[in-house]
Amino acid sequence: MIKELIGKNCMVMAHRGANAYAPQNTMPAFQKAFDMGFTSFETDIHCTKDDVLVVCHDYKINRVSDGIGKIADYSLDFLRTFDFGSYFNDSFRNLKIATLDDLLNLVSSETASGIMNIEVKHPQNGDRTIVEKLIDSVKEHGLYERLLISSFDAGLLLHAKKYAPDCRTGLLYPGPPDTQNSIKNFLIPPFNLAKNIGAYSLHPVHNLITGDFVRRAHGFGFKICAWTVNKRKDLERCISSGVDAVITDNPELARDTINRLNLQKYI
């Protein structure tokens, strides 16, 4: 059993799968990440009109398919009439949107353990039961101990904790790009908010990471997962500061950076 999702060594979470090699948040992207040895990942879910959880980052499908419109306005069958692959590369033409069950079945088939960091967006219709559906689905697949629910929406995370008190949650911040908001969070991190909602971890944007910040966060009992860390200099800063995990589009570079820094300790 995984007692601690994030441990002493920095964990690498493949952002939306191995999205440099396959369309983000698709089954080929996750399979590629697993094949490369990255069994921990970050992904996103939304709920369709007919209450099926699907894997996609945006509320709309415009950016990653040949369709337009909101996921919440379409049934799964209708969503699967769209092509979610050819925008990335013609070799992925006619790739269909993945359901959460599709992804969980793939995870279940892998022998190695890893963390499923599943982000839930603020529900535009105000229905927070999406986290209940997520928790139930993960439990049905026997993967609950690997689940970490993250969100910018503190109320959503609180709802998850009320539904399943032992559920691990991570507070993402700051919200949409905003210089003033970023400065505020740098000066006054949301430690109290995270504590009040029972969060397991804090997930700050990587440019907020300093050694002092990580020490303070650990002092409050939080794990730190930085996003989205893609450049070597930023990876070195975050890892050297003691973060517990990094979410990255470049997991190979992150693994190499961790190995280099660990080696330097003994030279």
Instruction: Give the active site residues.
Output: 15, 57
Q: Are 22 and 32 in contact (CB under 8 A)?
A: yes
Cα distance between residue 227 and residue 234, in whole Å? 10
Q: Are 171 and 220 in contact (CB under 8 A)?
A: no
Cα distance between residue 244 and residue 208, in whole Å? 15
Determine which helix (DSSP H) or strand (DSSP E) holds 34, and give its type and residue range: helix 27-35
Q: Are 137 and 100 in contact (CB under 8 A)?
A: yes
Q: Which two tokens stand for residue 16?
A: 């939306």
- Which of 112, 103, 97 lies closest to 138, judged by CA? 103
Q: Are 206 and 234 in contact (CB under 8 A)?
A: yes
Determine which helix (DSSP H) or strand (DSSP E) holds 15, and give its type and residue range: strand 11-15
Q: Which two tokens stand for residue 33?
A: 């990440």
The burial of 176, by beta-carbon neighbours within 10 Å (0-12 exposed, 13-18 middle, 19 or more buried), is given as exposed
18 residue type, one letter: A
Q: Are 213 and 242 in contact (CB under 8 A)?
A: no
Classified as helix, coil or strand, 233 is helix
Q: Are 144 and 165 in contact (CB under 8 A)?
A: no
